[in-house]
Homo-oligomer: A and B are copies of this chain.
Amino acid sequence: MKKIAIDMDGVLANIYSQFHKMHLEEYGETIADEEIDGVEERQAFPGASKYVRNQGFFRTAPVIDDCQRVVEKLTGYYDIFIVSAALEFPNSLNEKLLWLEEHFPFITWKQTVFCGSKDIIRADMMIDDHFRNLDTFMGETYLFTQPHNKLADCGVHKRVSNWLEIEKLLIL
C-alpha cells in the first residue's frame, strides 16, 4: 500500500481555533479571518509563541472538520502515518499522544512520528499546511489550506481546502 504522511497541527488539529481563543482571552478582541490571510501565524497572533507553550494548547485543540472519518477511511486504502514536527515543543509530546488516542483511536503507536525536521520522512504522499515540509519531500504533496498559506501560489503542490476534497482525490 502507498504511504501517506499526514501532519497534525493545521491539518488534523484546529490550531487557529486555539490561537483565536487565547488571543481573545489575552487582548479582549477578535481578529477577523480576512485580516490574517497570508500572514504567518506568529505575526497574525502576537502571543502565538507563548500560546503554543501553554499547558493544554495541543491537548484541547478541536478536530478539523471531517478528518476523523476520512482518515479512518483512508486506512483501508493506504498506510497512514501521522507525522508531527513536535520536537520543537517537547512538552507537547504527551499532549499530542493523548489527543491522538482520544480522537484517532484507530491510529497505533507504529503509525505515529514525532520529529523536528520532516526532511527525513519517506512516504508516497504528504499532506501538510507548511511549504517548508512539502518543499523537500519526494512524493506527491498536498498543501492543506490554512490562513497563513491561503494567498500563496502553491507551485508544484496540489492545494486541498478541506478533508472532503482529500476524500474525493484519494478515495472516491
Bitwise, A70-103 to B at CB < 8 A (1) or not (0) is: 0000000001010100011010011001000000
Within 8 Å of chain B (Cβ to Cβ): is A109? yes
Complexed CA–CA distance, A131 and B4 (Å): 24
Q: A87-B112, A109-B87 are in contact. Are A120 and B121 (CB under 8 A)?
A: yes
Within 8 Å of chain B (Cβ to Cβ): is A115? yes
Return A139 CB to nearest CB of chain B, in Å. 10
Task: Give chain A's interface secondary structure class.
Answer: mixed
Q: Verify B112–A116 contact, CB threshold 8 A.
A: yes
Complexed CA–CA distance, A109 and B93 (Å): 13
Number of copies: 2
Interface size range on A against B: 20 to 34
Bitwise, A113-140 to B at CB < 8 A (1) or not (0) is: 1111101111100000000000000100
Within 8 Å of chain B (Cβ to Cβ): is A108? yes
Residues of B within 8 A of A120 (CB): 3, 5, 81, 83, 113, 121-123
Measured CB to CB, the nearest residue on chain B to A122 is: B122
Q: Verify B138–A122 contact, CB threshold 8 A.
A: yes
Return A79 CB to nearest CB of chain B, in Å. 8
